Chain A
């Protein structure tokens, strides 16, 4: 059962005197209880816009977000339903997302107070236990954010999100401002929270390597569209979309074997004027005539795996385990 369902979401940014920029185009994804879904793509692909629209910080142009069975309305000046608080967001930069002048315990207690989740006397104890849940000592309650390292601050931000007793966390690049050692710890914490609290996580990241390590399923975005979706292992081992393959081949390997990553030719096009047909075709090594004028839909190719590529079905057959690779046909 999915807790968070995004269906046919489109976000367009209006610009005076210009056509709107469609930052997210017809995106659908679902996050189940205790499931970690990675949303991967490069700068400007629309992943953060999608994340913000998912929690209601941005009003979608069309499509809908269904959370715990109810359609979610975008955030307005007025309060939104208490139930919607169970969908929480964690931001990239824990230096900016925490209040520098408020003690850590207070910031977490604020969340409890606003949602009426704990009595005044009970709040400090709850704050301490939430900090303990994310691996910080109880003494952290009386300290200020600047007294903590980047990784610890991200733990505090996660604890504050947990105060709302969420069922789904949307995390926008939660690891990218951290050093490798802290990154690994926070990644492990996220897996632990998901498994042990049954939390659904939508993990937005540009780093396919780390997503591969923690996510159960992955969605790959390019220029506003989800171009591939499936179980992380399979996508990683046998990518169906040429863009996914390019992303994987561009990751350097820290093993001393002098692997030189492969560059993708060309530049990401202006999202205001996306290419006709498949949006990836000008940079795609496999593009053929059809790709230049006909837009491939995101379709299930094999069980549980979808890709938006005219060649995906053929690639799936050729890459299937146990079948010998054969020359391309036609």
Chain B
């Protein structure tokens, strides 16, 4: 079952110069109880495309397209209704739990105000829910943690608390934007396991945004690779990472140190800087950095073609099996 269906989403942001097209027609579906991964480098539009769904972009951003969430279109909804739907049905976790918490308010206050606002829960009920969730995300001694302040916790513990906070209203969808990027690897592993467990125990759907394809490989069921505001390749995460078809995906994977590759083998960087909104190349946005580009790549924007359960926006398709 599909929980969220995004169709031809476009985001344009007004600037002092000319408007910037940050997201340029992306479509994807998030299934119930599945983890949908959005991967890409900085500036690829991955975060903006998700913030746009929740109406969290600054004024001046125009969002078009559709995003059906349980049948309702998030894009055309009134702001008041959108706040209600997002507040109750969508939980959000950001990269840096230190900046997403208010430093002067206790953890308990921040976990419960959400529930009290959206559901009018009593103080005692909200506290009970918070303690149960703190326990579920493995915070030792939840009752004490409830009274403490964000700075009193380590980065990993803060991220666990942030996840507990996102789950307070029992959302159907959790959006996690680089949830482990600020953490050390041994701590990251704990958060990955936590997200995986929550997804299983609660049949939670997750949109996982990260640049880290290793993290994707551990968690994502379905994966979309973003570049220059578009999806260049998508499909089941295991297949896509094992047999990437788009030259960009392939290059991104080649640039990573692989645990099993030999030392001294030079890494293969991608030549040229990543495409940035405002200076997007014509045709295929990846063509100036692509080793397989042909003449038509300069002028024609490639369609995301369906190939079974994979999608590929590359007419050259140099890695066809």
A188 is contacted by which of B187, B259, B266 (Cβ under 8 Å)?
A: B266
Decide yes or no whether B201 CB sits under 8 A from chain A.
no
A264–B251 alpha-carbon span in the complex (Å): 32
- Taking CB atoms, residues of chain B closer than 8 Å to A256 are 217, 237-243
In contact, A181 and B274 (Cβ under 8 angstroms): yes
A263 touches B193 (CB 8 A): yes
Asked whether B217 lies within 8 Å of A258 as measured between CB atoms, the reply is yes
Q: Is B316 among interface residues, defined by CB-CB distance under 8 A?
A: no
Q: How many residues of A contact B (CB 8 A)?
A: 46
What's the Cα separation between A114 and B256 when bound, in Å? 39
Docked-complex contact B241 and A261, CB < 8 angstroms? no
Distance between Cα atoms of A64 and B41 in the complex (Å): 42
| B157 adjacent to chain A (CB < 8 Å) | yes
Q: A209 contacts which of B42, B186, B243, B257 (Cβ < 8 Å)?
A: B257
Decide yes or no whether A291 CB sits under 8 A from chain B.
Answer: no
B184 within 8 A of A: yes
- Which B residues are in CB contact (< 8 Å) with A210? 257
- Interface-located stretch among B125-133, B167-175, B207-215, B300-308: B207-215
**Contacts A213-B265, A254-B256, A261-B192; A42 near B184 (Cβ below 8 A):** yes
* Most chain B CB within a 10 A radius of its CB, from A179, A185, A259, A264: A179
> Contacts A191-B266, A258-B238, A263-B193: A246 and B41 contacting too (C-beta < 8 A)?
no
- Docked complex Cα distance between A14 and B318 (Å): 60
Measured between alpha carbons, how far is A152 from B260 in the docked complex, in Å? 29
B154 touches A188 (CB 8 A): no
Contact A250 B188 (CB under 8 A): yes
Report A282 CB to chain B, min CB distance, Å. 14
Q: Is the CB of A254 within 8 A of B214?
A: yes
- Interface pair B257/A213, CB less than 8 Å apart: yes
Let me know if A252 and B265 touch, CB within 8 A: no
Contact of B188 among A181, A182, A259, A261 (CB under 8 A): A261
Contact A42:B185 (CB < 8 A) given known A252-B214, A259-B217: yes
What is the chain B residue whose CB lies nearest that of A43? Answer: B184
A254-B216 in contact (CB<8A): yes
**A binding-site residues for B, Cβ under 8 Å:** 42-43, 149, 151-152, 179-188, 191, 206, 208-210, 212-214, 232-233, 236, 246-248, 250-264, 267-268
CB<8 Å pairs between A and B, sample of 23: A42-B186, A42-B187, A43-B184, A180-B41, A181-B41, A184-B269, A186-B269, A188-B266, A213-B263, A213-B265, A214-B263, A232-B263, A247-B185, A247-B186, A251-B214, A252-B189, A252-B217, A255-B217, A257-B238, A257-B242, A258-B217, A259-B218, A267-B157
Identify 4 new A-B residue pairs, CB closer than 8 A, beyond the known A209-B257, A261-B188: A179-B42, A209-B259, A254-B213, A254-B214
